[in-house]
Structure 1
Amino acid sequence: MNNEELTQILSDSIAFTSNIDKNLFTKMGVKRGLRNEDHSGVLAGLTRIGDVVGYERQEDGSLKPIPGKLYYRGLDVEELVAGIQKENRLGFEETIFLLLSGRLPLKEELEATKSLIAETMPLNHMATMNILALQGKNIMNILARSVLELYCYDENPDDISPNNLIHQSINLIAKFPTIIAYAYQVLRHDVRGRSLHVRLPHPEKSVAENFLFMMKGPNKYTELDIKILDLALILHAEHGGGNNSTFSVRVTSSTETDTYSAIAAGIGSLKGPLHGGANVKVMGMLEDMKKNISDWEDANQVDEYLRKILRKEAFDKTGLIYGLGHAVYTISDPRTGLLKEMARDLAKEKGREKEFALMELIENRIVEVFRESKKSNAKANVCVNVDFYSGFVYDAIGLPTEVFTPLFAMARIVGWSAHRIEEMNFSSKRLIRPAYKNVRELQGFIPINERK
């Protein structure tokens, strides 16, 4: 028997070994995907970091959909963004301090935070050379490998004291933009034969501007580009302990492993297209719509295209409308509205108003078409999520699709760090270890010569 034949035998066995009767999940009370029957999440922990609100539980136990709210350390993100924008400044560094410390920074604390992050952004020579030597077309994989490598440059990598956890968190938050930008430059050089640019971050620039500088070079981005990227980083920095990547970080951290291993687990989770890659899919769907809809202002044509998607006749034929729906938000995603308003200004600056108008039309029609298609009000409480506009924003400021999901990680590393620190410092720490019920029937051992 050759290797291919053995591989085929093992592959053919998967249909049997992995087939579990779905009725058994209900019979045994298993919450598939850690979701309750009403689609709410199974309560698996407590946190003081973030809160994602999309419904209220009524006295009879039913869920009442409400406009979405997102809170960072008890502060409404819409209020946080409004306060920062009113003072006409950037806010990602302030968000970092808020999520790590639990409160808004004083002026001198904010300036110190900005300086510390900017000073920590450069990679040492060896780390830079190793990134330049890495091969691969997926920047998320390169990011994970680079994070694990940073363990080697840490003098106390396994120290889980609060002071060292903060030190490691700041180090990773600061270095993510540099790693991602350098990894893209290598990909651009190796795959597309373009010049290799390794630009050092500027100590006086913000995280958002430094990333644009390292990606695009000087004088190739606008003030609005910086502001909207900063806003996107704020909005993606944290989303409660139940999202898949943050939960992965907490599960891994509960073993008391090192920070770099825990964060690498989060990166691996976020890389999955069902979690972090949705905005890339939205852009692909939008491009396909632009090609197949002759009149971008015709709601009937938009409706028909959306119906074709739901019937698995258009785009990737999965039946999924990307950018629609969320595990918690029902009526609205608060991040969407905040990003959309600035995206409108961006569309004007970049001469992409017609494309933005098409996206608004899709947004206005998408829920109604979905409701009509499902022929039920039970699933009518869906809304456009932040992924619907974030891909457009990144594309409009000139960022390639290869960094869309890494950008998500560049923001979410803040929330991951805060949750890891919380998990490591619970007064009643416990290894996260759920149970799985085995439903495979027993079998006896058969002598090898008697097996058929």
Structure 2
Amino acid sequence: MAQTPTQTPAGSAADAKPKQAAGLAGVVALDSGISFIDGAKGELLYRGYEISDLAKNTDFEEVAYLLWNGDLPSQSELNELQSQLRAERALHPDLLDHLRHHTPENTNPMAALRTAVSMLAHYDEEADDMSREANVRKAVRLTAKMPTIVAAFDRIRKGKEPVAPSGEGSAAADFLYMLNGEKPGPSAEAIMDAALVLHAEHGLNASTFAARVIGATLSDMYSAITGAIGALKGPLHGGANIKVMEMLLDIDEKGANATDYIDDMLSRKEKVMGIGHRVYTALDPRATILRDMLEDLSDEKGDRKWMEMSDTIRQHVLDAKGLNANVDFYSASVYYLLGIETDLYTPIFALSRITGWTAHLLEQWEDNRLIRPRAGYNGPKGLTVTPLAER
């Protein structure tokens, strides 16, 4: 029998003495078995597996199964999931019509994705079915369709016809195929797949927390994911790698010395995007993996400029401020060398993180409790109303 999410009653205000921390820094809001982060050691685990092990020895579909189910799949389980994902990649004609005729070409890609994901609920008969089985199927549909949405949007805004999903191959390969109109080479597919693995999950970050807050009200999965996309759109979260590439391009265009450029930014107290992290004090382990990928891709393309510039900036900021690079810092150059438009970097982040978001929703609904923190009041008290005519 299908199980539906339960709602554990919220406790009284006297359950515990309220604690306050700016930005909820260091506050443990809930327990989760999905990922573990040790910021001091630069350690990241998905369901107990080191991220470097997963990036080297699994693909994105295996990681999706792991996040949703708690274990890596057998070959037959993987085959079944791959079949389900391939079968769900196509979009409803009405959604494509919306992208063609009702989405301005200058629309922010994350705004286009946010709207399209919300629209997916209109064409899903299980949208409001809150059983785990239905929610897993929705997680599969979202993971399958989001790459199609992003690729279709990008081609339409360029005056090109969307490329239908091939119905075969990996999520990484089919995304690049739908985006560029030609099948990617083995190296591009492998790098894209590894990037999806690296971005799939990262604890209770802003977008994941937003999804769980929405999910905790027992709203549907599409509503929660739409909210998560809205949170990821912000430059302090998912938009950082766009700013990294814009910085690198600006340095190159001006012919500037990279360290002088960064010193000028620091003197104006500007944030160097892609550097520093709310959780990691050590180097983000995902940045290390992406840096190695960037080196391989740079050598393949015969262009080491972006890697060398990035290395210089990373070391300079580390020496000057003691801050390490995060995952966004090297992903920017990786995507650039793959020929991907800079404003698509954050949507690609979302194509991966959908697996983590949906895993957290499934976990939230296993033993649901409304998430309701308190705000410390710092406004006035004791005011009285002056009659309207005397104000």
Check whether TM > 0.5: yes
372, 376, 380: which one aligns with 1:437: 376
Over aligned residue pairs, what C-alpha RMSD do you find? 1.5
| Distance in 2 (alpha carbons) for counterparts of 1:183 and 1:47 | 35
Shift of 1:415: 0.2
Correspondence list, 1:23-422, <5 A: 30-35=20-25, 41-55=26-40, 66=41, 68-84=42-58, 91-136=59-104, 137-189=107-159, 196-219=160-183, 221-240=184-203, 242-293=204-255, 301-312=257-268, 319-370=270-321, 380=322, 382-422=323-363
Between structure 1 and structure 2, the one with the greater Rg is: 1
State the distance in 1 between where 2:378 and 2:244 align: 39
- Deviation, structure 1 residue 79: 1.5
Check whether the contact 1:134–1:142 (CA below 8 A) recurs between aligned residues.
no
Helix, strand or coil for the counterpart of 1:364?
Answer: helix
Moved more, 342-351 or 252-261: 342-351
Partner of 1:448: 388
Gaps in structure 2 of 5+ consecutive residues: 1-17
Q: Deviations over 1:241-279 (max 9, x none)?
A: x20000000000000001110100000000011111000
* Larger RCO (CA under 8 A, 6+ residues apart): 2
> How many percent of aligned residue pairs carry the same amino acid?
38
Cα distance per residue 1:116-153 (max 9 Å; x no partner): 11111011222222222232411111111111111111
Moved over 3 A (4+): 291-294
**In 1, are the aligned partners of 2:162 and 2:178 still within 8 Å (CA)?**
yes
Contact residue 62 and residue 73 of structure 2 kept, 8 A: yes
Give the whole-Å Cα distance in 1 for the aligned partners of 2:171 and 2:57.
19
Task: Measure how far apart 1:200 and its partner are.
Answer: 0.9
d(CA) in 1 for partners of 2:95, 2:253:
43
TM-score, normalised with respect to structure 1: 0.79
Query: Counterpart of 1:405 in structure 2: which amino acid?
Result: T
> What secondary structure does 1:280 align onto?
helix
Give, in angstroms, the shift of residue 29 of structure 1. Answer: 5.7
Shift of 1:307: 1.3
Aligned length: 371
- Structure 2 distance, partners of 1:126, 1:104, is 36
Equivalent position amino acid for 2:201 in 1: E
Say if 2:212 and 2:364, in contact at 8 Å, map to a contact too: yes
TM-score, length basis structure 2: 0.91
Quote the Cα distance in structure 1 between the aligned partners of 2:250 and 2:320: 18
Q: Supply the AA of the counterpart residue of 1:71.
A: L
**Gapped runs of 5+ residues in structure 1?**
1-27, 36-40, 56-65, 85-90, 190-195, 295-300, 313-317, 371-379
